Structure 1
Amino acid sequence: MRHGLVETPDGYELTLQGFQRASRRAQGLRQQGDEEAARMLALGPSHPARWEYARCLAIDSFTAEVYQPGI
């Protein structure tokens, strides 16, 4: 499990820890003026769109780590 993601036959699923981590990242993005992050954080924590947004943030973090030079 990396970045709060677990691999399933259908792709990656987000764990609760991953959701929390991605939510913290979204808060930082919102503070930087990201409108999408603000809209997603306005949704309730159980809303499917918020979970999907958090999953995308986690996948983005994982991808950025994998493609860092020197890895």
Structure 2
Amino acid sequence: MVEGSMARWHEECAAADAVIARYGDLSDLAPAGRGTVRAYLLKVLQEYARHNGHADIIRERIDGRRGE
């Protein structure tokens, strides 16, 4: 199960990298025209970090470890 999830995550990362590589400059407007590619990437990064923080809280409750 973990191996399949990690494989899927790597596939999604490769697909995202391919889309990002289409832009020569991250200051270009995104396809929807409501912001730059950089702004969209920053939003994704913030959401990813937030969800990782939630996962860390759950892990702390399970094993009691804190920090790194």
TM-score range, shorter chain: 0.3 to 0.5
State the TM-score, normalizing by the size of structure 1.
0.38
Please identify which structure carries the higher helix content.
2
Please identify which structure carries the higher strand content.
1
